[in-house]
Amino acid sequence: MSTLTPAIDLSHHINQATQLRVPSPLKAIFKHMKTPGMISLASGLPHPSTFPFESLHVKVCAPDAKGIPGEKYTSTSSTTISVPKYPCVENEQNTLSIALQYSDATGSARLTSFMYDFTKRVMKPGYSDWQVLLHSGSTDGWSKVVSLMCEKDEYILVEEHTFSSAQAFWAPICKAAPVAIDHEGLIPEDLEDVLEHWDEKHPGSKRPHLLYTVPVGQNPTGATMGLERKKQIYDICVKHDVIICEDEPYYFLQFPRYVLPFQRCLPQPARYISEEEFVGSLVPTFLSLDYQGRVIRLETFSKTLGPGNRLGYFVCNPVFAERLLRATEVTTQTASGWSQAIVEQLIVSHWGHEGFLRWLMGLGDVYTTRRDWMCDLLSETFDLVSTGNSDELLAISKDSGKDGQKTPFFTFSPPRSGMFVYIKLHLEHTSSFKALKTEGEEDAENMWAQMFWESLIEEKVLLVPGDYYAPYIGRGQRVKPKPGVAFFRLAFCYESKEEMKLGIQRMGRVFAKYWDSEL
Ligand code: PLP
Ligand code: PMP
């Protein structure tokens, strides 16, 4: 028997507009249409005979098909999944006549129920009455969370390097309260400090009550937050009554520690034997610690089945789920019927839990290979030496300069999850940065980074400058960079190994030029 308790009442976190939101009148009528014998002269549903689609057939991979990362992949073991327009057999649940029709905003009950069971098995929420609600991807999900909770001009707690698109949504409405991070993400002591001293430092401002965090594969830093860290942060959020929105597109892309090529033993053993072992290897979620219902988890199929599906789901307490449903009714209505039909047919009817987990295990391997490519290629262009600070590596020139010293360029921590390597450049030895400082430029770090970025583009290699992730602390005003450093984000998710190699060699040339060094 379950010993979990229901969520506590957290309805005071809902903003005024959302408190006042009424159900969509037309959606409310839907439930009566399901009454046996009801003749509906009510809703304006187009008759399915007017949909010009007869059936849907999609060729899909076997769940353990991995392919070679970066190569166009044609599965030798593909199957065709089909969705008919009308039921072909009694009780057929997934048909185009339903998927392409209006429905209540909860969308596919079968897909929702599958994701509920999957969440229970994999994430193990820590309270009893949590719910699953489909959305149209985490971008949509996050916009609905901000609209659920935030009032104009209030503050949102964010990582001090925060995901740029999430921020771009709230930046016109709210302000950031940045929290310091390290290689494991948010630093609990700093979160505590921000909240403990809020009233002194922000007299008259409402205390922040929403934390936006990407605990696994943090975008842009690639940090992975361990269980102990999560426990500390959860406890602080309980103490200060803060809701945690965990945005987790990279959750299933978790890797073993990076080992430099010369220290690696070959062949490497298989990572997992069973699906259970895979599930057990994943770092526990905030949701699993959540005994009060104060975590809103954003799940998305974007990184597991493709971003164009525009499909994901919330996991949250029933009060928030009901308000998010009301918002869904009058905004997106439901996630796209096509996406729901295809994903339902693939993972519910065809793959099942075991198949979906096998697919996710395969993805973990693909991204481990890609992470290793990037770090190995960095070690070909630069020498990588340990800084002694956790897994952090320092990239230095392979050759010594005139002074007999090797040039230090940047530090980074090889990620244990996600898609990104975030490099921290140490500018004090570059003459171009020194010149900007001598000229008394206040914004020398950003000016230097812009110049360096343009040089990278001239050399035909594209990175994302770190200032894209600087939190907005006021209208148009962003957190200033730390003195003498600049950050850039490299993604290892897309390019082939050859292209990555070329890109990193080009990057190396720009480093050599700016540091006036040999490589
Ligand atoms: N949240 C984070 C942290 C992301 O990195 C991304 C995309 O990379 C998204 C959300 C967007 O996800 P979706 O495609 O589900 O909207
Ligand atoms: N465009 C959109 C609309 C996205 O949602 C994403 C994924 N976040 C991207 C682009 C890629 O962004 P990034 O490289 O920052 O993850």
Residue ranges of domains in the chain, CATH in brackets: 20-28+101-366 (3.40.640.10), 382-514 (3.90.1150)
Residue 501 pLDDT > 80 = yes
pTM above 0.90, yes or no: yes
464 CB within 6 A, ligand 1? no
Per-residue confidence (pLDDT) for residue 269, from 0 to 100? 67
| Mean pLDDT, the chain, whole residue set | 94
339 CB within 6 A, ligand 1? no
Q: Pick the residue with more confidence: 400 or 114?
A: 114
- Digit-coded pLDDT (tens) for 19-51: 999 887 777 788 888 899 999 998 899 999 999
- Digit-coded pLDDT (tens) for 309-347: 999 999 999 999 999 999 999 999 999 999 999 999 999
219 CB within 6 A, ligand 2? yes
462 CB within 6 A, ligand 2? no
106 CB within 6 A, ligand 2? no
If you take atom 16 of ligand 2, which residue's CA is the nearest one? 219
Residue 468 CA: which ligand 2 atom is closest?
15
Q: Which of 472, 291, 501 is nearest to 379 (CA)?
A: 501
DSSP three-state, residue 123: coil
Q: Which of 23-27, 71-75, 220-224, 446-450 has the lowest mean pLDDT?
A: 71-75
Distance 253 CA to ligand 1 centre (A): 13
Residue 143 pLDDT > 90 = yes
Could you tell me the CA-to-CA distances from 430 to 101, 304, 441, 510 in Å, in that order?
A: 61, 41, 15, 12
The ligand minimizing its distance to the Cα of 141 is 1
302 CB within 6 A, ligand 1? yes
Distance 177 CA to ligand 1 centre (A): 21
Per-residue confidence (pLDDT) for residue 512, from 0 to 100? 95
How large is the average pLDDT for residues 63-67?
73
Q: In whole angstroms, what is the distance from residue 334 CA to residue 142 CA?
A: 15
Per-residue confidence (pLDDT) for residue 518, from 0 to 100? 81
Distance 141 CA to ligand 1 centre (A): 10
Distance 168 CA to ligand 1 centre (A): 13
- Digit-coded pLDDT (tens) for 470-489: 999 987 899 999 999 999 99
Per-residue confidence (pLDDT) for residue 133, from 0 to 100? 98
What is the H or E stretch that residue 203 is in? Answer: none
Could you tell me the CA-to-CA distances from 217 to 128, 255, 367, 390, 441 in Å, in that order?
A: 28, 10, 11, 17, 34
Q: In whole angstroms, what is the distance from residue 32 CA to residue 198 CA?
A: 50
Distance 142 CA to ligand 1 centre (A): 9
Residue 164 CA: which ligand 2 atom is closest?
15
Distance 249 CA to ligand 1 centre (A): 6
- Digit-coded pLDDT (tens) for 99-128: 999 988 999 999 999 999 999 999 999 999
If you take atom 4 of ligand 1, which residue's CA is the nearest one? 249
Per-residue confidence (pLDDT) for residue 30, from 0 to 100? 81
48 CB within 6 A, ligand 1? no
Residue 301 CA: which ligand 1 atom is closest?
15
Q: In whole angstroms, what is the distance from residue 297 CA to residue 310 CA?
A: 17
> How far separated are the first and last CA of the chain, in Å rounded?
63
Task: Kindly report the number of other CB atoms within 10 A of residue 77's CB atom.
Answer: 9
If you take atom 1 of ligand 2, which residue's CA is the nearest one? 165
Residue 72 pLDDT > 60 = no
302 CB within 6 A, ligand 2? no
139 CB within 6 A, ligand 2? yes
Q: Best substitution site from 162, 165, 301, 463 to test ligand 2's pocket, by max atoms within 8 Å of Cβ?
A: 165
Q: In whole angstroms, what is the distance from residue 313 CA to residue 298 CA?
A: 6
139 CB within 6 A, ligand 1? yes
Residue 402 pLDDT > 90 = no
If you take atom 14 of ligand 2, which residue's CA is the nearest one? 491
Residue 464 pLDDT > 70 = yes
Residue 301 pLDDT > 70 = yes
Distance 165 CA to ligand 1 centre (A): 8
